[in-house]
Chains A and B, each alone.
Chain A
């Protein structure tokens, strides 16, 4: 069944049609939520809340944008609220701890997979230490893979602002990792 038809039926309160929409988008919404919570159960709860919000907002959806973009907008706004409410309870990986791990493991040789995993953890930790607006735009572009135009719709920003904000966010992320990036030569250094 076409997406428009599913949306129309869902707007009329058809639970089955909404279930099919959820099936199509749950992975993306869950993925977005999990990049903020770092916790599967919390991300699952967030994703459920986002879909509940979307269901009750469906009558307001006028087909002026893609359903996915509209859903992402709800998701991002909900995640922003969530972060404001539970700021202190977020499970963050302290950047300094990540540095210690890397340095300690520099002593011995690690398997490539382990090195990659450590690097990934460090980059994720650095991402979490960025200001909210930079985290959001990096998550949408570099984790979720949304196009500039889609990000522009989701965040209600001009394409020019998306371009400059993305540039600043990536630059800041690199600056956060500067201490580790300097450790060249070793296979564990970034």
Chain B
């Protein structure tokens, strides 16, 4: 193992992220390498000093001040409120549209349909067959006259043939 590789493994070992086999290899290397022994000492010291002594505390009344600021922001920035509730509002709006649309489709009043002549007669409690017979009867004389005309024309034409 060279020192470059050892340095990488050393830093991983300080985080406790080294497998047993690598730990042994690193240990063997450090025992024989003064350069890496120095590196190990220095890294331990540096990382030990990175953390500050004592946990710093925020200024007093942190929560109270924060909630007061939130209240002010909510009141003065309606855009933020919209942003906050946008997702929820969108879901509710979609659900409402689907619900109202569905109800409209199911419960909408049916348009009056155009009745056929037969239906109209039945609705007026009249017999459609009688009505048809009347119509045919009304046309009867017309048809008879036409037949007479055609017969007369045929009789006129027959001697010529």
Q: Which A residues form the contact surface with B (CB < 8 A)?
A: 13, 15, 18-19, 22-23, 26-27, 30-31, 34-35, 40-41, 43-44, 47-48, 51-52, 55-56, 58-60, 116-117, 119-120, 122-124, 127, 138, 141-143, 148, 163, 166-167, 170-171, 173-174, 177, 181, 190
Contact = CB atoms under 8 A, between A and B. Distances in A.
B43 interface: yes
Contacts of B62: 22, 26, 30, 44, 47-48
Interface stretch (B19-27, B28-36, B83-91, B138-146): B83-91
Interface string B29-68: 0000000000100110111011111011111001101110
A59 B85 CA distance: 7
A142 B45 CA distance: 12
B7 A171 contact: yes
Interface of B: 7-8, 11-12, 15, 17, 39, 42-43, 45-47, 49-53, 55-59, 62-63, 65-67, 69-71, 73, 80, 83-88
Contacts, number: 103
Q: Chain A's interface: helix, strand, loop or mixed, by majority?
A: helix
Contacts of A27: 55, 57-58
Contacts of B46: 123, 170, 173-174, 177
A40 B69 contact: no
Contacts of B8: 167
A177 B38 CA distance: 14
B50 A143 contact: yes
Contacts of B53: 117, 120
Contacts of B84: 13, 56, 58-59
B86 A22 contact: no
27 contacts: A15-B67, A18-B67, A27-B55, A30-B62, A44-B59, A47-B58, A48-B62, A48-B66, A48-B69, A56-B84, A59-B85, A59-B86, A122-B49, A123-B49, A124-B50, A142-B47, A142-B50, A142-B51, A143-B50, A148-B15, A167-B11, A170-B11, A170-B46, A170-B47, A174-B42, A177-B42, A190-B42
A23 B87 CA distance: 27
9 closest A-B pairs by CB: A123-B49, A30-B58, A44-B59, A142-B50, A120-B49, A34-B56, A44-B58, A59-B87, A56-B80
Nearest to A142: B50
Contact of B70 (A31, A35, A55): A55
A40 B49 contact: no
A143 B51 contact: yes
